[in-house]
A and B are shown apart, each in its own frame.
Chain A
Amino acid sequence: MSKGIAITGMGIISSIGNTVAENLSSLRAAKPGITRLDLIETRHRDAIMVGEIKKSNAELETQIGLAKDNNLSRTSMLGIIAAREAIVQASIDDIDAYRTGFISGTSVGGMDMTERYYTTYQESPEFRKYIATQHAGATTGDIARHLGIRGYVTTISTACSSAANAIMLGARMIKAGKLDRVIVGGTDGMSKFTINGFGTLMILSDEACTPFDENRKGLNLGEAAAYIVLESDKIVKKENKKVLGYVSGWANANDAFHQTASSAEGEGAYLAMKEALDIAEITPDAIDYVNVHGTATPNNDMSEGTAMLRIFGKENIPVFSSTKAFTGHTLAAAASVEAVFSLLSLQENMVFPNLNFKTPIEALDMTPQTTCLEKELNVILSNSFGFGGNCSTLIFTKA
């Protein structure tokens, strides 16, 4: 088995908690963060359920300690909070001590501010400061500046697999010796832009989502940011760092089927899982638990389930669950949210439940883990698939 790249810190803010500890406590208590939308005024309020972080922008500004005249988007602020927690946990005091990078995924960037102020720019100069924040790269720049990272900084925008691809790129750069340390993950704030977009695709559920259930009605949108710190073996050894786990497998493949839908045979998902197993130098039977993408759309769960049957075989499907019923689908942050959850699973030896599940999908006959399960976990596979056929798989192993 490949040893992989060491993870020394993690941070998260999601609808089930503002810190790693709060997220863990909600997961253990099987307490979801799915509610009606409170912080954005929309006619869709009664038509959808969401995973919303119940902190206003003003509260986030205060928490971070921003100046009044700041122009940070919600996406940037969530990102700062999560990345800062990750850096603190990794005991990084001097960010410049090593070659440090920052790779962040986002799909909406500063859209939340643009949609709020777009029509006022003509007559209200005081809001024009948000024009510069719209750019997806501006979000990454904001967070990097706040953390004082001056090295390699880039943004990945591959829809709902963005954070997985950020983690993959970071791991490869450490492996190739291009960086000593890199903070990787993703962030996406809630926006009307995505609510309406997913609405037109008619894949939003009006109830709490039910991943891998025969009668699933669609997904709940969520907002979150999550980051992990990857460090070279050299730093880990030199500074005697505590390692939370390793990212030991990664792969990205294209489904080459449709702009937004996944293929019936789950080809992209199959290839991503297969190649990640190859990179980790393990066979499917080594996987103790799969944190599935499991968005609860009819299309995703069917396609992903089919791909899993192809990889593992009907008799050997590992324990699996989707944690989307806790947080909603947090888009570009989803893979890093689930990376943090996977690390918590390794640390606690616990599979977190797939909430709201009742009936197996008839054509698949696969039943997810529906309660907290204590089980020795050494190797976890986590899937994240994005529009554009962009399929990614990460494998995490115990320290």
Chain B
Amino acid sequence: MAELVEELKEKIIDQLSLEDIEVSDIDNNDPLFGDGLGLDSIDALELIVLLEKEYGIKLTDPKEGKAIFQSVQVMADYITKHRTK
């Protein structure tokens, strides 16, 4: 799990072009949206693409993302349970 969390942080930084942020800047339980990393609605959609591309998880309703993208930890838990690749 710890490995997946680190991998996710790298992928999020890369996919969302967070150039001034390092893996060590992201706490496992930091909120991704709002005050945390300051992500917006396009980033949420981009994370949905990331889930499908990297882990074979397909979300059809953008609202589902809200619960899953609370933090890197929550995201990693969800991926562990639902991944198909």
A interface residues, tally (CB under 8 Å): 7
Quick check: is A25 within 8 A (CB to CB) of the other chain? no
Quick check: B45 and A202 within 8 Å, CB to CB?
Answer: yes
A387 to chain B, nearest CB (A): 11
B46 to chain A, nearest CB (A): 9
Sample 13 A-B pairs with CB under 8 A, ordered by A number. Answer: A200-B45, A200-B49, A201-B42, A201-B45, A202-B45, A202-B48, A202-B61, A202-B62, A258-B40, A258-B41, A260-B41, A260-B42, A261-B41
Most buried by A among B41, B49, B61: B41
Quick check: is A259 within 8 A (CB to CB) of the other chain? yes
Which residues of chain B are near A261, meaning CB under 8 Å?
41
Bound-complex Cα distance A202 to B61 (A): 8
Chain A binding surface, main DSSP class: loop
- A153-204, CB < 8 A from B: 200-202
Residues of B within 8 A of A (CB): 40-42, 45, 48-49, 61-62
Indicate which residue in B42, B48, B61, B62 contacts A259 across the interface (CB closer than 8 Å): B42
Which residues of chain A are near B48, meaning CB under 8 Å?
202
Closest to B59 in A: A202
Bound-complex Cα distance A35 to B68 (A): 34
Which residues of chain A are near B40, meaning CB under 8 Å?
258
Which residues of chain B are near A200, meaning CB under 8 Å?
45, 49
Bound-complex Cα distance A258 to B41 (A): 9
Closest to A202 in B: B62
A195 to chain B, nearest CB (A): 16
Which residues of chain B are near A259, meaning CB under 8 Å?
42
